[in-house]
Structure 1
């Protein structure tokens, strides 16, 4: 099995982003149009946050806010954890699993290359992750 890095999975992505003063309504429309679950929030070319489906649900809808009246800066996940394109997919998946993320920004020289999503990850990596986690919990079950 050849091991992938996160850059290989996001290199063909069309990178879409919005500024921090864009509305949640704009973000939701863009996410729906592009069928994505997260949008990088970029200011002066730098990633300042990530707006996700969970942010929309938990920070906007559940609080009864009007998406058209709320700026992304008020409800985005600020300073998200990021990885470089050469980061192994196993490491990226581990970061996502340990932190409960479904989206992980991939940056090269502070520029957003794409967003690694759970649905981008090939099934055999999920199996490796499950086996690795089982081995961590019960070392006696680890393959020797």
Structure 2
């Protein structure tokens, strides 16, 4: 199982907007950096807008950040673009056989483990901001 690439693309979009403070961050511009189709960028940007992370003004080319870099966590991005069923990252088979010793017990055994894994992921993502991503790229680029 993998988290969709929408998550990393969402981070890419927000980081590029932060880098492009004085320029116009159009879907074509963002798509060129991500190396994807502008339609995908518009879809993900729409999800980011709905979550209150970016502002898109009708009739005006470009997208801007709706919050400070230090106020946008990777958890915010994840929750905005990776819609998961019932807020659960892991899906568990809903109807194993009650006639089998494993089937009778598998859900009760693995659900707490999977829930802990999800909480650990969310805790890490909650403590990293887009500002941290920008700082790291600045360091790597010697800016």
TM-score (norm 1): 0.25
- Relative to its length, the structure with more helix (as a share) is 2
Q: Which has the larger radius of gyration?
A: 2
More strand by share: 1
Q: If the length of structure 2 is used for normalisation, what is the TM-score?
A: 0.25
